[in-house]
Amino acid sequence: MNAPPARRPRPRPRPRPRLRLRLAALATLVPLLVPLLALTACGSDGPTAAAPAAPSASEDLVSGIPKVDAIAALLPAEVRKSGVLRVGSSVGSSPPSAYYADAAQKKVVGQDIDFTDAVAKVLGLRIERQEAAFEAILPALGSGKYDLGTGNFGVTDERLRSIDFVTYIDDGQGFAVRTGNTSVGKVTDLVQLCGLTVGTGAGTTFEATLDAKKDVCAKAGRKPYQVKVFSDQAAILTGLQQGRFDVLMSTINGLRYQAAQPEAEVTFLGEFHRLDVGFAFAKGSPLTRAFQGAVNQLIKDGTYTRILRKWGTTDSAITESRINPPEHP
């Protein structure tokens, strides 16, 4: 018996013209949607915020900056004549503020360094940088030891009583834990720290905030938090990694950078309180107007943005420099 003839496959229907247009549009959009989805998956102030890439410390954005005579004219005559600024600089052990670029600790780099050097170029001055402990710089300004201080100094109402500030970024306070520690999540109220030990730097706004709010746990009927203070930045990070305290309170930018380094084993918990950061001067310093003009010039000519991009801190951009703004609420 002969087999019946094989059935010929039916041709697949061709897409209707409208469907073909939709498919073509989708194919065009897919490459655009991928990076868009990647961006929308990252918050700006939480543990999942986009982590900054490791900065290229060798990138030179400063040496070619020209002097601006109209801004330099705002300097006192004696400073223009000497051509030198004495800067008390706090140099930590972690980017992006100020740190040593090599194991020999001979070259200091960082965001604070670039901004200070860039302002000096606009003003036609040379920097004499003197390294000092963070907590020693602000008290030394009144004695005339330094013309100004840098150290990612946050502007607070308390500091404004004795210090003048010229702002150049907006950073602030944040928290981090050793990766794997689930004892605390995003900190929105210090009562969430009750019963824990918090590590932070000596003479910082973090220490002042923790001290000022130390009664919150008693009011909540909970065990108080303990504070461990360190003068050395490297010791703070080591203390966290070794479990000597539960939570680290430090700068938003610094914690974000550490969290981006896998070997650091640090998890950023998010922003707590934003603060303007500024160059610090003795109260009544005649240098502030010139510095404000120089920072605004850097913003205007694009150098400002390039420095922020170099250090992965574009979230800290300001639109204009201010002298002695009030503390962020």
Is 38 a residue whose pLDDT tops 60? no
Q: Which of 180, 179, 210, 212 is nearest to 196 (CA)?
A: 210
pLDDT of residue 54: 52
132-156 per-position pLDDT tens digit = 999 999 999 999 999 999 999 999 9
Distances in Å between the Cα of 261 and the Cα atoms of 173, 244, 251, 256, 318 are 20, 20, 16, 9, 26
Is 37 a residue whose pLDDT tops 50? no
Q: Which domains occur in the chain, in start order?
A: 69-171+275-316 (3.40.190.10), 173-274 (3.40.190.10)
DSSP H or E segment with residue 129: strand 126-131
169-196 per-position pLDDT tens digit = 999 999 999 999 988 999 999 999 999 9
The sheet carrying 148-150 orders its strands as 126-131, 84-89, 148-150, 266-282, 163-178, 247-251, 197-201, 226-230
231-259: average pLDDT: 92
pLDDT of residue 55: 58
53-76 per-position pLDDT tens digit = 555 678 899 999 999 999 999 999
Is 15 a residue whose pLDDT tops 70? no
Is 22 a residue whose pLDDT tops 50? no
Highest mean pLDDT (candidates 71-75, 90-94, 232-236): 71-75
pLDDT of residue 78: 97
Q: What percent of the chain has pLDDT over 70?
A: 82
More confident residue, 234 or 56: 234
Q: What integer best gives the mean pLDDT of the chain? A: 85
Under DSSP, is residue 94 helix (H, G, I), strand (E, B) or coil? Answer: coil
Under DSSP, is residue 197 helix (H, G, I), strand (E, B) or coil? Answer: strand
